[in-house]
Amino acid sequence: MTTVTYSIPNISCGHCVHTIQGEVSELEGVTSVVANQEARTATIVFEAPATEDKIKALLGEINYPVAA
């Protein structure tokens, strides 16, 4: 199990938090997603088959790219 926290500048409201948590938690292997509106971060706990690359790709697809 791996925990990562990403900075996601596009988070601007509670709807963003809801969208990110809903979409990323659908990914197989993701066990927890907690997005924070004020900090503009998402903390994600995952294991295989999920990978950081897959999570970042999904976040990009739904218009919440991870800050470089």
- Rounded to a whole number of angstroms, the minimum distance from the CB of residue 12 to Cu ion is 5
| Dihedral over alpha carbons 34, 63, 29, 54 (to 10 degrees) | -130
Closer by beta carbon to Cu ion, 1 or else 13: 13
Q: Which residues make up the interface to Cu ion (CB under 5 A)?
A: 12-13, 15-16
Closer by beta carbon to Cu ion, 5 or else 12: 12
Q: What angle do CA 9, 15, 17 make, to 5 degrees?
A: 55
- Would you mind telling me the total number of residues written for the chain in this entry? 68
Closer by beta carbon to Cu ion, 11 or else 50: 11
